[in-house]
Structure 1
Amino acid sequence: MVLLYGASGFMGELIAREAARQGLPVTLAGRSESSLAALGAEFGLPHRVFALDNPDAARQALGGHQVLINASGPFHLTAAPLLRHALNAGVHYLDLAGEVEDFRAAQALDLEAVARGVMLMPGVGFGVFPTDSVAVYLHRLLPDAARLTLAFETQGGVSQGTAQTVLYGLARGGVARRGGALIPVPAAWKRRRTDFGSGAKVALFNPWRADLVSAYASTGIPDIDTYSVIPQPLATLMRLDAWWPGLVRSRAVQGLLQRQVAAQGRGPDAAELAAGRTVVYGEAQNREGQRVAARLFGPEAYLFSAQSAVLAARLVLDGQHRPGYRTPAEVFGPDALLGLPGVRRELL
């Protein structure tokens, strides 16, 4: 059985819908009895109610389950308590986080997870699963790669949870991977033109991407750059952060941005979900100048996340898990996503 926490949120509901469609045994969980009961009645799924600060209730709710999916963002608020609940209950942990800080928190629990026989795998959504798959695929083609570049483009709307996470990252600064170490860098400190299959587009350096942790864990490549095609006005905010970090990170500006996020809808509507698409570009290079590159195409990012999260849970239930902090492609391999609808990969 799988326990899905945050099931009544935008991303959680998408996962619940996909799980019900596939017949995956899922229990819906979260803090709102009324929302969960309504969702459970719609999908024919049981539900459990518990708050993150109630370990006894969490342990009781997790009883009889083998996998916990955390779909409740922002993950810098929810991952720590749910990681602890999963470890205490001996349940494998999955989430949809995509930020450096969230992955380092899971990494810090690696030894305890190994001792308890529990796998901790953040990033089973679009946040990392596709990019990690491209990274491992390229590394297998070029095992002595010394530099890895990952970039992505998404077409579709943005949920409140994603917007809140971006603002949180802007307030804290970011990192790059150099010589195997994480070094502090500002947002958008570099840019590159990348062909995502329909002509070159400008992508900005994204210093919060968890690939800076996950791809290094998966491949050991010492220098990693991460880029994203960023819509306006977020790109402007990222450039401002590079030039004038005190302004973007000030309490007044952060408060204004948070109010704007709170006023937007929960996430993309059905039409946007159906029309959206994603493309991941990856490039690896060794010290002799040999280079390999690939693109991975998929559906809209939130739909992709729902499908990949359900796939990850199913694979874990089928026995594909290893104790400790793990990345998706490390455990499931670089080809696992290719069986999902609309997902394909091309070697350039």
Structure 2
Amino acid sequence: MASTDTLLIYGSYGYTGDLVVQRALGAESGPGAATPEEADGAGESAGVGGIDAEVVLAGRTPERLEEQAVEYDCPARAFTLEHSGAVERNLEGVDAVLNCAGPFVRTADPLVDACLATGTDYLDITGEIDVFESLATRDAEAEGAGATLLPGVGFDVVPTDCLAAHLADALPDATRLAVGFQAAGSVSPGTLRTAVESIGEGGAVRREGRITGVPADYRTPEIDFGRGPTRAVTIPWGDVATAYRSTGVPNVEVYAAVPDRAIGVLRATDRLAPLLAREWVRGALSAIVDRTVIGPDPEERERGAAYVWGEITDGEATYEARLTTPEPYALTALTAVESARRALAGDAPDGYRTPSTAFGADYVTEFAGVERADARPVDAPTALSVGERADGAGDQ
């Protein structure tokens, strides 16, 4: 990769975007931060230190960009995504775009359009099923443009996608796959705004290769993510889209650990769906998020961790595997920047890719603070043995 390569980070001044900028510039602290020796090239973990490229800050709000550009001494480009010509002009001289501005269902398509028109690689940190599915349909278009489309290079969905691929390597003829995670701590404003966009829409799983809507509390088994059994619930996480393309397994479910009391809240969102779908309600909730939510502080990111679990079955044999990772936002900064570095280096194939199809099932294990308990056979599935009630919701 030449030092003249340029990475544009859109949404650079958001909570996660700013962490990504710090990582890209080698100015970060916390899990995975470079020691002086590593900064000189002695480190072995992926994502250590800064990126050998010019970093351009970008977003729609000039005032916030200007403040950030002064802080980091970086060039900045302020532009909205409404006009395709303006977006394309702002990608002039850019080799890769890393989109950190959610909800990605609103920002991905205009940036991808511009990237394909200019032959620019596109990456983002989405976990939104619709975004993954939309970009997957543009695989041939991206190959023709000589561009990589690589969404989901943060905690959504690098660890779960890589674990799914690792499990599929252990059981190549599997028919059912489940992955999930347990993570404590606060969330960023952008994450909650994205959640507000989909509140009341229920859940989603993949059945026989097709994404299917299900109740928010579709299945609620107890799962041991690595710290003992805890209640979990199916969620409409990005792996419902990506795991199918990474593994070929036609039936996919994704779980998150939740307190027992949260199950009742999820059921209420299904009942209140017509109200929650109204624009004014979502707008009011988003405004509350903007006023009250900050995101994890440095100590939370330093001390936090996430626990990722997966199981796979072919109807006879069943395997499970686990990961322990840094706190999700800390890991996102690591994986997003390293993924961009590899794209700039030409190490990500053209076309649509998932993290594991771009960099392999072991990709996530290359980062400091990640440990994997490799796939091993178990007597019976945990989540995949849970049945359905007649009303379509999951058994307790």
TM-score by length of 2: 0.82
Task: Indicate the residue corresponding to 2:328 in structure 1.
Answer: 301
Could you tell me which of 12, 23, 28 is aligned with 1:7? Answer: 12
CA distance in 1, matches of 2:371, 2:276: 38
Q: Deviations over 1:251-306 (max 9, x none)?
A: 6754553343233223222222222211110111112x211111111111111111
- Taking structure 1 as reference, are residues 317 and 253 closer, same or farther at Cα in structure 2, changes over 3 Å only? closer
Aligned partners of 1:256 and 1:62: how far apart in 2? 33
Measure the CA separation in 2 of the matches of 1:97 and 1:260: 22
CA displacement 1:15-39 (0-9 Å, x = unmatched) = 0000011231221111233322332
1:33 and 2:68 equivalent?
no
Q: Does the 8 A contact of 1:113 with 1:323 survive in 2?
A: yes
**Which runs of 5 or more residues in structure 2 are unaligned?**
1-5, 27-48, 377-396
Change (3 A) 1:274 1:235: farther
Q: Structure 1's 2 and 291: CA in aligned 2 closer, same or farther, altered over 3 A?
A: same
Is 1:278 the counterpart of 2:306? The answer is yes
Query: Relative to 1, partners in 2 of residues 1:35 and 1:248: Cα closer, same or farther, differing over 3 Å?
Result: closer
Aligned position for 1:60: 89
Question: Post-superposition shift, 1:51?
Answer: 1.6
Residue among 237, 241, 247 paired with 1:209: 237
- Native 8 Å contact 1:48 1:61 kept in 2: yes
Cα offset for 1:248?
4.4
- The secondary structure found in structure 1 opposite 2:221 is strand
Q: Which residue of 1 aligns with 2:371?
A: 344
Instruction: Name the amino acid aligned to 1:283.
Output: E
Which one of 266, 269, 281 corresponds to residue 238 of structure 1? 266
Question: Aligned equivalents of 2:21 and 2:72: distance in 1?
Answer: 8
Relative to structure 1, the CA distance from residue 260 to residue 231 in structure 2 (aligned partners, 3 Å threshold; closer, same or farther) is: farther
Q: Partner of 1:191: helix, strand, or coil?
A: coil
Q: Does 1:194 align with 2:219?
A: no
Measure how far apart 1:171 and its partner are: 3.4
> 1:6, 1:255 → 2: CA distance?
20
Q: In 2, Cα distance between the equivalents of 1:260 and 1:229? A: 25
Contact 1:170 1:187 in 2 (8 A): no
SS of aligned partner of 1:8:
coil
Deviations 1:152-198 (A, max 9, x none): 11122111111121122223333211111112212121111111221
Q: CA separation in 2, counterparts of 1:18 and 1:94?
A: 16
Deviation at 1:139, TM superposition (A): 0.5
Tell me the C-alpha RMSD between the 2 structures. Answer: 2.0
- Distance of aligned partners of 1:299 and 1:250 in 2 relative to their CA distance in 1, 3 Å threshold: same
| Alpha-carbon distance, 1:108 to partner | 2.4
- Flag the structure with higher helix content: 1
Q: 1:234 to 1:49 in 2, by over 3 A?
A: farther
2:167–2:320 contact (8 Å) kept in structure 1: yes
Please give the alpha-carbon distance, in whole angstroms, between the structure 1 residues aligned to 2:245 and 2:314.
18
Alpha-carbon distance in 1 for matches of 2:117, 2:260: 43
Q: Which amino acid in structure 2 is aligned with residue 83 of structure 1?
A: V
Aligned to 1:221: 249
Tell me, yes or no, if the aligned pair for 2:226 and 2:309 is still in contact at 8 Å. no
Amino acid at match of 1:103: F
SS of residue in 2 equivalent to 1:292? strand
Q: TM-score, normalised by structure 1?
A: 0.93
1:173 is aligned to 2:202 = yes
**What fraction of aligned residue pairs are identical, expressed as a percent?**
37
Counterpart amino acid of residue 323 in structure 1: D
Where does residue 157 of structure 2 map in the other structure? 128
Q: Secondary structure at 1:171's aligned position in 2?
A: coil
Deviates more, 1:59-68 or 1:117-126: 59-68
Counterparts of 2:121 and 2:362 in 1: how far apart (Å)? 22
CA deviation map 1:305-335 (0-9, x unaligned): 1110001011112221222211010110011
1:320 aligns with one of 336, 347, 355: 347
Q: CA deviation at 1:231?
A: 5.8
Aligned residues: 346
2:372 partner amino acid: R
Moved more, 172-181 or 193-202: 172-181
